[in-house]
Chain A
Amino acid sequence: MTNFEQDKEIQELFDSFLIETEELLDSISSDLMVLESNAEDIELLNRLFRSFHTIKGTSSFMGVDSMASITHQAEDVLNKLRRSELKVNLNIIDVLLEVHDWLKLLLDRVKARNFEPVDYSKTLEALAKIDKRGGEPDDEPQKAKEDEQTNDSPKTQESALEAVLSDPDLVKKPGDFTQAEIDLIDDAFLEVNRQLYLDVIIGTNYVKDNISEATEKIALHKKDEESEKDADEKASKAISKSKTATSPMQALESVKAKEQKTGSETIRVDINRVEALMNLSGELVLGRNRISQISESIALEGKEKELTRELLEATAQIDFVTSEIQTAVMRMRMVPVAKLYQKAPRMIRDLSKEFNKKINLVVKGEETEIDRGIIDELNNPLVHLLRNSCDHGIESTEERLSKGKPADGTVTLDAEQEGNAIVLRITDDGKGLDTEKILDKAIQRELITQEQAAQMSKREIFQLIFQPGFSTSAVVTNVSGRGVGMDVVKTNIQNLKGIIDIESEEGKFTTFIIKLPLTLAIIQGLLVRVGTNAFAVPLSSVIEVVAFDESKIYSINHKEVIRLREDILPLVRMNKFLNLKEFVKKNNQYIVVVGIGLMRVGLIVEELLGQQEIVIKSLGDYLGTVKGLAGSTILGDGKVVMIIDVPELVELCFSNSDLINFVS
């Protein structure tokens, strides 16, 4: 193997270790949370034991001794728990959670290629204390098991094997083996081998079978079928045997496991490959758009009718298949929201402790699937929102009781798919948002004026808490808060092309609603013309399109508005906003009404060009971020079109930015 190949394999191995350990840590964390209420669940204890066990094995291989040694201690404790030598209690779970946290920290450091050890001696001490309270390692059940097996073993044992098996000192003596003992054990294994293959010469000829197999391969086809049948028989035999060999419980479990396996088999694929496939399918969409456009114009020309019809048919087929491929690839990137929500139980537990409140967690719709890239970016916002609910939402036990509410607060996490969007809801049954207080604070912090405050709707007031500089708690706390406010949450969500909204009723509840696109890469766009240029408006934020008349425009507070049914709609002249020329014709213009949450803005455009699936491409480094533009895309005819950033535009509009036109 070349050096390069070796390096690559090591890198792959390293990556695999990181991914696997992270998954195991996640499962340890959620298992530990469940363990609190399911202390007797032996299957749970076994799984926890195996998780630690695997981390111990792989980390020692990767040379991360700091991980291996603490895992080793934790594994000992779990071993005692599952052998019922120890009883699960809160202290044990706390310490094991500590171990989990250390491992997570170490793993993060390993990720950054930092192999320095950390000082977890306190946790080790705590583990050792737990360990001591447990029984001796060589306990009764173990012995009984060994005795049982001695009876099974054949009587034809010869010296070395006999010596190992019958020498209690060799087994019970602590410490490493001496060379003599190692030799003895090696001899013992040799004995086993010899016994195993003793009957090779006489009976069922395993080794010979293998040698002659190669020569027999030629005459195979027919035989294959037979051996398959044979294999089936063997399989059922083996299974029935293994069933009788183990306890009924185990047999049941193995059947269960088998069922699960057939349910959904998975393979691990490098995320970069999926990413590449995603990009390619995006390009495919572009190509498809182009073909459809070309075939449509050919059809319009009306020549070669038969050929045109065939072309249209073929195009329709490609159209269909492309959409299917696109969905399939998208689904490859989808993971259940459970992956995001699984960290919540631990957080709620820690937060209840920190704030000394009793808080229950209810999780719904965890099976809802969402783009993996989005999940990763949602972690921090979720942490922040949960923290917010527990800190500011849920009241103290006394306060709750005095209000006639149940003593324990409840935080609910919910997820569901609504059309092309995923909606996440974080609800607490706490005191709700106090609009007066919010307004006072916003005025005090000079985010709004008294006059503005008087005109604001309930929803607009709620949105104030997302303003930079609104958040009060600048104190850095240990669970999540790094002194960042809700504005960061909103920015995170907006970066994901999502929106965040609040519903709340004073004294009853507060719900944060996060609405996200199913995927980041491909969206439905409404193409509009402004001057000579076409622009795309993401269809997800388009509420409606109306034709209008210049004469219906009023101005309020130096801003152009129009009355749309009973609402006043602020307007943005897209040509001014984008620094383009005046529209040529003054009549027959359109207003594209776009909205974020309940905020609505009308964009004045010259013409509607149609609806199209567009693949978002970034503007590239040389353009950087341009206010009001989310990116670009390529149309079927090869033209590059800019995509309007609706959330940003709406924000600019409501923040009285100079970028939005004023009536002079």
Chain B
Amino acid sequence: MRFLVVDDSPTMRRIVINALKTFGINDIVEAEDGQDALAKLNSSKFEFVITDWNMPVMTGLELTKAIRSTDSIKHLPILMVTTRGLKEDIVEALKAKVNNYVVKPFTPQVLKEKIDAILKAIQGS
């Protein structure tokens, strides 16, 4: 599985990547904002996107909308990882059709549960 981890903070990317590595996921590419992520998605193939919400240039929400409206990648699983824990935020993410939502700070366990849930949903269909 090839993962794209999108966050403007190198520290946050590292946290997510460290967690992913403990799950045995090692094929990971980093992007520092939505636009960088889009460019990377367009130049090679990914199976999973984990993205932050608040980023310069292009936010995670805009990235999600862009992915969902691009035919070739519109089914890409997207996990939103963000400090925005307000209910209205979650609803907005739902509308943008992220696959799931994790509020920071999270434990690696929660991250794994959410990833597994998404993968299960895909396989189930």
Contact = CB atoms under 8 A, between A and B. Distances in A.
Give the residue among B39, B58, B70, B83 with the most A Cβ atoms within 10 A.
B83
Give the residue among B62, B87, B95, B97 with the most A Cβ atoms within 10 A.
B87
B70 to A, nearest CB: 5
Give the residue among B9, B71, B94, B118 with the most A Cβ atoms within 10 A.
B9
A192 B98 contact: yes
B90 interface: yes
6 contacts: A165-B95, A185-B90, A192-B98, A193-B122, A204-B72, A207-B123
Contact of B91 (A50, A171, A253): A171
Interface range on chain A: under 10, 10 to 19, 20 to 34, or 35 or more?
Answer: 35 or more
Given A13-B18, A56-B83, A171 B88 contact: yes
Given A171-B91, A185-B90, 15 more contacts: A13-B15, A20-B9, A49-B54, A60-B104, A146-B91, A172-B87, A193-B99, A193-B125, A204-B74, A231-B44, A238-B38, A238-B66, A242-B58, A245-B65, A246-B62
B23 to A, nearest CB: 11
Nearest to B75: A206
B58 A201 contact: no
Contacts of B12: 54, 57-58, 61
Given A164-B91, A235-B39, A16 B14 contact: yes
A643 B8 CA distance: 47
B51 interface: no
A204 B125 contact: no
B75 A200 contact: yes
Contacts of B15: 13, 58, 61
A189 B101 contact: yes
Counting from the closest, the 9 A-B pairs by CB-CB distance are A206-B75, A193-B121, A197-B125, A235-B42, A257-B57, A60-B105, A54-B9, A171-B87, A58-B11
Interface residues of B, number: 60
A190 B92 contact: no
B43 interface: yes
A495 to B, nearest CB: 33
B28 interface: no
B45 A254 contact: no
B122 to A, nearest CB: 5
A196 B104 contact: no
B35 A54 contact: no
A16 B11 contact: yes
B76 interface: yes
Contacts of A60: 83, 104-105
Interface string B13-34: 0110010011000000000010
A196 B99 contact: yes
Given A50-B8, A192-B94, A193-B122, A206 B38 contact: no
A356 interface: no
Given A1-B21, A238-B70, A239-B38, A57 B83 contact: yes
Contacts of B72: 204, 234
A200 B104 contact: no
Contacts of B36: 261
Contacts of B47: 210
A331 interface: no
Interface string A175-189: 001000000011011
A250 B121 CA distance: 34
A195 B58 CA distance: 25
Contacts of B121: 190, 193-194, 197
B102 to A, nearest CB: 11
Contacts of B123: 207
Give the residue among A142, A188, A228, A234 with the most B Cβ atoms within 10 A.
A234
A93 to B, nearest CB: 22
B119 to A, nearest CB: 10
Contacts of B96: 149
Contact of A153 (B35, B83, B95): B95
A58 B21 CA distance: 19
